[in-house]
Amino acid sequence: MSTPISSIRNLGPAMEQSLNAAGIRSAEEVHAMGADAAYARLLENGARPHFIAYYVLVMGLQGRPWNDCKGDEKTALRRRFDALKAQSFDEDRSQFERMMDQIGIRTP
């Protein structure tokens, strides 16, 4: 039996629904994938990038409160977030091309 994603600290029903929509169905899957891969899957599924959602996921997988992320650690997480976002949203493609890719009309 799988554990609900919302059982992970900091993650509520909205994040659980978003992860489910991206094909991630359990807390065990999120833990096995890690924060970066899970967040990349959200972006691939059309989620709008949001730094707070990313670091809440990172902190939750570490069992820490979401607001425990500060200073150099937060700066490092911002760099990781920016890299994930850049991989998911190639700046050379138009918004229209990215939308077509997301709905499966074209392949990147």
Q: What is the pLDDT of residue 91?
A: 53
Condensed to tens digits (0 to 9), the pLDDT of residues 71-93 reads 999 999 999 999 998 887 665 55
Rounded CA gap, 39 and 43, in Å?
6
> In sequence order, what DSSP letters do the residues of 19-61 get, joined into one string?
HHHTT--SHHHHHHH-HHHHHHHHHHTTPPP-HHHHHHHHHHH
Q: What is the pLDDT of residue 46?
A: 87
User: What pTM was estimated for this model as a whole?
Assistant: 0.80
Residue ranges in the chain whose pLDDT is less than 50: 108
Q: What is the pLDDT of residue 1?
A: 76
Topology of domain 5-102 in CATH is DNA polymerase; domain 1 (1.10.150)
Q: What is the pLDDT of residue 32?
A: 97
Amino acid at 61: L
